[in-house]
Structure 1
Amino acid sequence: MVATMTDTLHYQAGFGSELQTEALPGALPAHNSPQHCPYGLYAEQISGTAFTAPRHQNRRSWLYRIRPSVGQPCAEPYAQPRFTASLRPDTPPEPMRWDPPLIPATPVDFVDGLVTVAGNGSATLQHGFAIHWYACNQSMSERVFCNADAEMLIVPQHGALRVVTELGLLEVAPQEIVVIPRGIRFLLELTEDTARGYVCENFGAPFRLPDLGVIGANGLAAARDFLYPVAWFEDRTAPIQLITRYLGQLWQGVLQRSPFDVVAWHGNHAPYKYDLRRFNTLGSVSFDHPDPSIFLVLQAPSDTPGVDQIDFVVFPPRALVAQDTFRPPWFHRNVASEFMGLIHGRYDAKASGFVPGGASLHPCMTGHGPDAATVERALQADTHQTDYLTDTMAFMFETRLPMLLTDHALNGPQRQRNYLDCWADVRSRFAGPTHPQG
C-alpha cells in the first residue's frame, strides 16, 4: 500500500546529477539492460530528452521494476473542465490581480482541484507553458496522474504534501517547490486537512539552473540543495485509476497493479524538491536597483540565446542596503509577461490587496510597479538605514510569450476589478518650469 506519513524519508542531493539508488541491496545491475536483472526485475528506460541530446543536457533514467509499464489500458476522456487548454485570444493588455481560490466545500483531490489561469504555446508542438491553481481537501486515493505533455513545477502555498512517485517519495511544504518530470506517474497525499498552491506546466526544454556568469561559482540556487528521492516500491495488484494529460486533454483508464514498483533506478530524469529559503539572494551594496534576473531559480531555455521560454523567480527574505536608491521594485515595462504569486507574508511593492494564495499578471509592455502607498513610504525612507524584509516569500513565472487567460481568470469571482485603483494616487511631483500651452 501507499506509504504512510510516519515512514522515514531519505533524499539524495545534486541538481541534474547522475544518481543511483536501490530499495533492496544488489537491485542495481552492473549494466543498464542485462539479460537477467537482480530479483527478476525488468529494465525500463524513461527519456525526458531526445536520445541524441548533448550529454550535459540529456535527461534519462533506467528503472528496474517488478513489471514493465506496458499494457496501459485503453483511454477514455476524463472530464475536468477547469483544467483546460482553452485560452482567450482576446486577453486584454491590462494589469490584473486575483484573490486566492477558495478551498472546495465538497471532497476534491489535486487533479480535480486544478484550475487553469493562463498559458501560451502548444503541448502538441512541445512549446510554451500553462499556469494553474490547485485547491483540494483530500488525498488522491486509488488514482495516479501522469503528464505526458509537460514537466510540472508545483508551488505549495498552504498545506504540506507527500508526493508518491515511481522513483520514490518526497515531502514538500509551503516555501518549498517540487518538480515532476514529464511522464513520471505520481499521486499527492495531503498531510493536513486542506492544501492550495500554484502549478506551472512547462511544455518545452526542462527547467535547469542558470549559468552564473560574472557572479562566479557561488550564488542563487545551489545544486546541492535540490533533493531527489531514494528508491521505494510497493508490490500490489489492485485496480488503480490512471489519469493522463496528453495533447492538452485528460484521459483515464484502470491499471491492474501499482505503478510504484520501481525497486532501483539510476539517472537524472527524476522528481526533485527545493527549499526556497535556501536561495542565496544577491543585490546591490552601494546604489541603484539590480534587475529581477538576480532572483532566478530555474529557467526553461528557448531557441533564442539569452531569452527563456519561462523563468521561475523568487523574492525571499533579504536586506536592502543600497543608498540614495528607490528600494522597492521600480516602475517598468518590458517584453516579458509576469505572473506573480504570494506564498507567505507580504510583497514589498504592494501595501494591500496582494495576499498569500493570490496572484497578479502584468502583460508584455504594460506599465506596472509599486502602489501609491509603497511609493510614499519609499520616498520618505532613510536609505542610510538597512531595510530588512523578513516576513515575505513571493515568486514569479516570467515568459517572453504573451499570457493568454482562461474565461475563468477573466470573468471569475476571484478577479479584483479594482486593481488599477492601487496606482490612482501616484501623483505628479514635477518641479520644473511650466511651459504655456499653444
Structure 2
Amino acid sequence: MQLKYLSGFGNEFATEALEGALPEGQNSPQVCAYGLYAEQISGTAFTAPRGHNQRTWVYRIRPSVSHLPYQPAADEKAPKLCTVAADSLVTTPNQLRWSPFALPAEGSKVTFVQGLKTVAGCGDPSTRAGIATIVYTANQSMSPLREAFYNADGDFLIVPQQGRLEIRTEMGLLHVSPTEIVVIPRGIKFSVDLPDGPSRGYILETFDRHWELPDLGPIGANGLANPRDFLAPVAAYEDIDTGAPFTIYSKYQGSYFQLSQIHSPFDVVAWHGNYTPFKYDLKKFNTINTVSFDHPDPSIYTVLTVKSGNPGVALADFVIFPPRWMVAENTFRPPWFHRNCMSEFMGLISGGYDAKAEGFLPGGASLHSAFSAHGPDTTTFINASKEELKPIKLRPDGLAFMFESSLMMSPSKWALEDCGTALQKEYYSVWQGMPKLFNPNKK
C-alpha cells in the first residue's frame, strides 16, 4: 500500500480522513462533525514557550478515557528486562561490545513490546531525568492480537536493523524500513506489525524534553538533515467496536500496565497540531566532511538532538556514519583514539565500520562510557598507518549510528549476564597488540 505523508519537521499539521471532520476556527466546538469527540494530547506543559510548545488536537470516535481500569501487565506480556531501575543496572567503566542480539527462538511468539530489553541507561522517568538504550527483537505482529502500546515515560527513537516495521499510530500509518528511523513521542498509542517476519533494531528512550534538529552554526542554512524530509502520517482511522476487546499496554515509571476497551485505540478521524510521530530516511542526510586535513568532530553527523539546559551540551544526540567520500590529506583516516566526557552507544545497521577490522557486526552494539578510552583496533591502526591516501568512498554498504549522551550510562544485568553469547568478553583484547613505535632517535 502506497502511503501518503505530511512533510516537514515540527510543523503545525492538519489532516482529516473525512471531509469537514476538522472544526474551523476553534479546537473544541460544542458539537463536533460526524459525532466525533475532541481530545487534546499535550506533549509539553501548557505554558511552555511557543517555539517549544507541542500539542495535538484529535477528533475521534470515542474518547480515550472510555476503558476499564489499569491492571499490572500479565507476566508473559510485560518486558521486565526493559527498565532502568537501579537494581537492574551494573556500574562499570569497561569498554563493552556485543555481537548481534539473538532473534526470538523458532516456535516462540514475541511481539515488539515483549521483545524490548534495556542494554544500558541511567536516571528515573518519574523525575523526567535520564535515558535508556534498548534493543528489540520480535517475530509476531500486534494488530492481529488487537494489542497496542504507549510509553508514558519517554520518547522512543526507533532504528530498525532487520525487517520493516508497519506502525499504526493514533495519527495514522507509518511504514519504516532499515536505513529509516521513526520517533514515537511519549503518550502516543501505537502497534507494530512485522511484514518481513523476525525483526531486530535499536531504541533510544529519552525521559526529558523532545527531539529537535541541531543548530547548524557555521555550516549555514543547509546541510545535515533537512526539515522537509521528515514525514508525519495522515489521518487514517479504524471504526471497530465488535469482537474481542482491545488490550493497551503502557509503561509508567518503569512498570508495565494493561487496560481493556471495546473500541480500537486508532479511531482518530482528523487531527491538527505538532505533537506527532514522524519518520526520516537516513539516506537523505547531507553529510558534511573535510576537504583538506584532519577530521571534523563527529557532531557534524548529528541527525537529531535532545538539548539540555546547558547550551551546546546534549542530553542525547542521534548521530550516523553514512557512506561518504574521504579525501583528507596527510591524515590518519579512521576515527582517532579518544576519551570523551560523553557516553557513546554505537550500533551497526549494515556493512562495516571504519574503526574496527572485525567483531562489530550488524545487529550488535558497543558502549564506551565517559572517559573510557577507545578508538581503532590494532589491525585497523596498522593498516591505516600504511595505506595510500587517495580519495575513497568510505563504506559504500555501511551505515553505523551512535546514541551519544552527556549522562553516564550503566549497562543492564541482562546485557552483561543474560543475553546469551552476545557479550564479547574479550573485547578489550582488540587493543592489546598495539606496537610500541616510539624511537627518540628517529623523527
What's the TM-score once normalised by structure 1's chain length?
0.96
- Secondary structure of the 1:284 match is coil
Does 2:27 align with 1:19?
A: no
Q: 1:146 aligns with which of 136, 146, 150?
A: 150
Q: 2:112 aligns with which of 98, 101, 110?
A: 110
Of residues 190, 194, 202, the one that matches 2:194 is: 190
Deviation at 1:92, TM superposition (A): 1.2
**Structure 2 partner of 1:4:** none
Match of 1:83 in 2: 82
CA distance in 1, matches of 2:344, 2:6: 33
Q: What amino acid maps onto 1:127 in structure 2?
A: A
Offset, 1:235: 0.8
AA aligned to 2:6 is Q
1:417 aligns with 2:425: yes
Superposed displacement of residue 71, structure 1: 3.1
With over 3 angstroms needed to count, the CA separation of the structure-2 counterparts of 1:387 and 1:317, relative to structure 1, is closer
SS of structure 2 residue aligned to 1:283: coil
Q: 1:310 aligns with which of 316, 340, 363?
A: 316
Residue 38 of structure 2 aligns to a residue whose secondary structure is strand
Task: Work out which of the residue numbers 29, 43, 51 in structure 1 matches 2:46.
Answer: 51
Query: Residue 236 and residue 90 in structure 1: after superposition, are their counterparts in 2 closer, same or farther (change >3 A)?
Result: closer
Letter aligned with residue 321 of structure 1: V
2:203 counterpart residue number: 199
Conserved 8 A contact 2:167-2:174: yes
- Residue in structure 2 matched with residue 164 of structure 1 by the alignment: 168
Compute the displacement of 1:84 (Å): 2.4
Map residues 219-368 of structure 1 onto 2, 5 A cutoff.
219-238=223-242, 239-368=245-374
Structure 1 residues 85 and 386, CA gap change in structure 2 (3 angstroms): closer
Q: Contact 2:104–2:198 (CA<8 Å) still a contact in 1? A: no
Note if contact 2:356-2:377 (Cα within 8 Å) is conserved in structure 1.
yes
Contact 2:89 2:120 in 1 (8 A): no
Change (3 A) 1:90 1:134: closer
User: 1-side partners of 2:269 and 2:411: how far apart?
Assistant: 42
2:376 pairs, out of 351, 370, 374, with: 370
Conserved? CA contact 1:86–1:406, under 8 Å: no
Partners of 2:103 and 2:293 in 1: how far apart?
44
Alignment of 1:61-140 (within 5 A): 61-78=56-73, 79=75, 80-87=79-86, 90-105=90-105, 106-140=108-142
Q: Distance in 1 between matches of 2:345 and 2:64?
A: 37
Cα distance in 2 for partners of 1:63, 1:381 equals 58
> What fraction of aligned residue pairs are identical, expressed as a percent?
53
User: Residue 377 of structure 1 aligns to a residue in which SS?
Assistant: helix
What is the Cα deviation at residue 388 of structure 1? Answer: 3.3
Give 2:387's aligned amino acid.
A
Find the aligned partners of 2:359 and 2:59 in 1 and give their Cα distance: 50
The one-letter amino acid paired with 1:386 is I
Distance 1:225 1:92 in 2: 39
Given residue 162 of structure 1, which amino acid in structure 2 is its aligned partner?
A: E
Superposed displacement of residue 433, structure 1: 4.4
Q: Distance in 1 between matches of 2:104 and 2:89?
A: 29
Amino acid at match of 2:110: V
What RMSD over aligned residues (CA atoms) do the two structures have, in Å?
1.3
Structure 1 stretch displaced more, 35-44 or 382-391: 382-391
Report if aligned partners of 1:109, 1:139 keep a CA contact under 8 Å in 2.
yes
Report Cα offsets for 1:103-159 as digits up to 9, x if no partner.
112111101111111111110001111111111111012110011111111110000
TM-score for both structures, normalised by structure 2: 0.94
Q: Structure 1 stretches of 5 or more lacking a match?
A: 1-6
**Residue number in structure 2 paired with 1:3:** none
Distance 2:394 2:337 in 1: 21
Classify the secondary structure of the residue corresponding to 1:124: helix
- In the alignment, structure 2 segments of 5+ residues that lack a partner are none
Instruction: Give distance in 2, aligned partners of 1:89 and 1:410.
Output: 9
1:165-196 deviations in Å (ceiling 9; x for gaps) = 00000000101001001100000000111110
The one-letter amino acid paired with 2:82 is: F
